[in-house]
Amino acid sequence: MSSFRSTVESMSKIMDEMGITELDLERQFLFGVYRKHIHLSKQNNVAAATMPNFPTAAPIKANIEAETDKTISGFALKSPMVGVAYLAPEPGAKPFTSVGAQIKAGDTVALIEAMKTFNPIKSDRNGIVKEILVTDSQAVEFDQPLIIIE
């Protein structure tokens, strides 16, 4: 998985440098028995990535609309991966945090599910949650701001 992540990060940087907004990459191994297809689409400095692993799977396109007229002050805690964000440890449970809550470095503020693995997203600083930028069960992209901490 780390190889895929580094590939997506490298391609995203190249896209920024060259001013490219969309990129398709496809690799086939063993005469088409295994196929990897990656589609990157950048809109407002956000990358969307997909990777179906089966020859019959159709590519999924993710679109992210960023609010460009909003100014954000404070520190933006960003997603370290592509996945689905969860704001509580399980459905119906109390959320990890809320707007106005005091948090400490190391506190879990969300979970990102990627490849059926739940990855805790921890704050790397002390502060107050000013804004939560994602909703529960929302698909998120690599480096997408999740929470604003003051």
Strands (E), the chain: 22-29, 34-43, 46-48, 75-78, 83-86, 102-103, 108-114, 117-122, 127-132, 138-140, 145-149
Which long-range CB contacts under 8 A does 95-101 form with residues at least 24 apart?
A: 95/136, 97/129, 97/132, 97/147, 98/129, 98/132, 99/129, 99/130, 99/131, 99/132, 100/128, 100/129, 101/128, 101/129
Domains of the chain (ranges; CATH) run 1-68 (no CATH), 75-149 (2.40.50.100)
The mean pLDDT value for 40-54 works out to 50
List pLDDT tens digits, range 55-94.
444 444 443 344 434 555 788 999 999 999 999 998 889 9
List pLDDT tens digits, range 88-145.
998 889 999 999 999 999 999 999 998 888 999 999 899 999 999 999 999 999 989 9
CB atoms within 10 A of CB 33: 8
| pTM recorded for the entire structure | 0.53
